[in-house]
Amino acid sequence: MNAIIIAGGNSTRIRPLSNEIPKTMIEIYGKSILERQIELFQRYGISDITVVTGYQSEKINLPNITCIKNEKYKSTNVNEGLFCAKAKLNDSVVIAHGDLMFEHEVLERILNFKGDIGVGVRLNWKPHYKGRTLHPISEAENVVIENNKIVKIRKNISKCEKNQIIGEFIGIMKLSKNASDILVQKYLELQKSHIGKFHNATSLKQAYTTDMLQEIIDSDYLVEPVIIEGKWCEIDTIQDIEYAKRIFK
């Protein structure tokens, strides 16, 4: 198993802290967000770690990782960043957004998933948006769960059927080798033929990982929720840094 960390964004919403470094290299209690993720993966025996970089890529200089730069990070989005590392989608893999802090219980649940496509989800998610005015609840990446499978995934889902549950995608997923092969093949097909809007994105190049997952769901592949517990937060704004300091103190 290997890990891919997508860390190539422009980091505009957390400036001025990211004026000189990428967001993932911002330190919280003396250690960068990215270092914390890497050390946690290594703690669980994952030594093959690839970091997809972009903005201020030269500032990511950490040992025992492979860095792949998304040369088009200014004009593309998270999904394109992931497929810059498609050569590493050749085995079972954990994929994580680079702006996350989480404790070991979260990763343990992801790693214990035995199916093909497992997406990290938290159910009690709304309280975590209290006071988060710079990243409101309308920007949450949500999932709709029905009969223990994900039937919809996109930003800002506020309604569902009575037999369904809305959760929040936490930016971490695990793929089996078979699922990795399916994902790459689907992306290569789309790259050749897709034109125009792609799910919630204006184009394939502007897609998020949620758009790609919805494509997989619509192609009748089983995508399952991995319900997580434990400390987790996304670092998107300065408010988020203060929140992370409180919960990880």
Residue 79 pLDDT > 90, yes or no?
Answer: yes
| Percent of the chain predicted with pLDDT > 70 | 100
Taking the C-alpha atoms of 50, 90, 148 and 211 in order, what is their torsion angle to the nearest 10 degrees? 70
Query: Cis before residue 63, ω within 30 degrees of 0?
Result: no
Please report how the helices 104-111 and 33-43 are oriented relative to each other, as an axis angle in degrees rounded to 10. Answer: 50
DSSP 188: H
Residue 106 pLDDT > 90, yes or no?
Answer: yes
Separation of alpha carbons 98 and 24, rounded Å: 6
Whether the model clears a pTM of 0.75, i.e. scores above it, the answer is yes
The pLDDT value recorded for residue 17 is 87
Residue 71 pLDDT > 90, yes or no?
Answer: yes
Tokens of 203: 């184009």
What helix, strand, coil percent values describe the chain, rounded to 5? 35, 25, 40
3-state SS assignment for residue 248? coil
For 7-19, what is each residue's pLDDT tens digit?
988 888 898 888 9
Domain that holds residue 27: 2-247
The pLDDT value recorded for residue 249 is 85
Domain count, the chain: 1
The CATH number of whichever domain residue 162 belongs to comes to: 3.90.550.10
Separation of alpha carbons 130 and 82, rounded Å: 30
Separation of alpha carbons 100 and 116, rounded Å: 23
Average pLDDT, the chain: 96
The pLDDT value recorded for residue 87 is 96
For 140-178, what is each residue's pLDDT tens digit?
999 999 999 999 999 999 999 999 999 999 999 999 999
**Nearest of 11, 246, 25 to residue 130 by alpha carbon:** 246
Residue whose token pair is 């089983």: 222
User: How many CB atoms sit inside 10 A of residue 69's CB?
Assistant: 17
For 218-243, what is each residue's pLDDT tens digit?
999 999 999 998 899 999 999 999 99
Residue 198 pLDDT > 90, yes or no?
Answer: yes
For 9-53, what is each residue's pLDDT tens digit?
888 889 888 899 999 999 999 999 999 999 999 999 999 999 999
